[in-house]
Amino acid sequence: MRRQAATPWLHLAPAVVVLGALLVYPVCQLGLISLFEYTQAQVSGGEPTSFRGLANYTELFGDPPFRDVLPATVLFAAACVLSTLTVGCALAVLLTRVRALPRLALMLAALGAWATPAVTGSTVWLFLFDPDFGPVNRVLGLGDFSWTYGRYSAFLLVLLEVVWCSFPFVMVTVYAGVRAVPAEVLEAAALDGASAWRTWRSVLAPMLRPILAVVTVQSVIWDFKVFTQIYVMTGGGGIAGQNLVLNVYAYQQAFASSQYSLGAAIGVVTLLILLAVTLVYLRLLRRRGEGL
């Protein structure tokens, strides 16, 4: 009996060892660096000069830019996640209602966006919305309007690019789940006169809850850690840092200012926020599942 109980863990052991080497050790090092005074001298090979404990975190939360960056990051990530899930789920349902050729074209276009490197995609979007040469301003009649000059327009531009490169994962995953739903269930909803929205809300969404949990958690992790798009499209955080998010702010503190301990502290805070959001979301899903 004990051997049978231990068999699954034996199969998981190689993966646990690899994940431990790739994840646990870097996270531990990140936490240690955040507790010391770690500057360019230590990066060059010197020993940490002093143990600061939680002083780096106290300094971080007392920093006015950080108090502005943290809520901006949360709101921006939430907007990206909601937009990505909405677009991805809508297109997944659309894929089930179109013919084979349009479905193939949409899948190839989406996978092309997904496969595009973040730097390349960000550069292309900057060109599309360029105030002088971009076609978007010409089509919309906006003249020389600069999308990256204003805070909210810059965040909107980055959000559109993030959704463009992220929705294919949601679309393909949800589409696979929808295809696995028995046809009889959808036919029964159609016979009852349910609209497309009611069918999704009352039939598909509850049945696809495990899949939606996976894509939501993955989207939260991806969008909360956005770096490349913000850095490339806003020139490192926008005018006077108006478009900073946590990852870009951590980069500035660690590599631009050589305050590696503060950068590590920001990384730890980001990790804790992601863990908290993920655990709360999964707990809510579990409670809903138990109540069904």
**φ and ψ at 51, to 5 degrees?**
-90, 120
Would residue 262 count as lying in a domain? Answer: yes
Among 60, 19, 53, 61, smallest CA distance to 33 is for: 53
The pLDDT value recorded for residue 291 is: 39
Q: Could you tell me the pLDDT band of residue 86, with boundaries at 50, 70 and 90?
A: very high
94-150: per-residue pLDDT in tens?
998 889 899 999 999 998 999 999 999 999 999 999 998 889 999 988 888 999 999
Would residue 171 count as lying in a domain? Answer: yes
CATH number at residue 190: 1.10.3720.10
Say what the pTM is: 0.87
- In Å, how far from its chain's centre is CA 171? 15
Q: Tell me the one-letter amino acid at 210.
A: P
Would residue 269 count as lying in a domain? Answer: yes
Mean pLDDT of the chain: 87
Would residue 18 count as lying in a domain? Answer: no
Would residue 191 count as lying in a domain? Answer: yes
CA distance 284 to 278: 10
Q: Domain residues for 207?
A: 70-291
Is residue 103 a contact partner of residue 142, using CB atoms and an 8 Å limit? no
Would residue 148 count as lying in a domain? Answer: yes
Among 84, 81, 91, smallest CA distance to 200 is for: 91
Q: Where are the alpha helices (DSSP H) in the chain?
A: 2-19, 25-33, 40-43, 55-61, 64-95, 100-115, 118-128, 135-140, 151-180, 183-191, 196-199, 205-207, 209-224, 228-233, 246-251, 260-291
CA distance 159 to 180: 31
Would residue 50 count as lying in a domain? Answer: no
The pLDDT value recorded for residue 292 is: 38
Cβ-based neighbours of 142, under 8 Å, separated by 6 or more: 131, 136
Is residue 59 a contact partner of residue 262, using CB atoms and an 8 Å limit? yes
* Total domains in the fold of the chain: 1
Angle at 65 between CA 64 and CA 71, to 5 degrees: 100
Strand partners, 36: 51
Is residue 110 a contact partner of residue 94, using CB atoms and an 8 Å limit? no
Would residue 16 count as lying in a domain? Answer: no
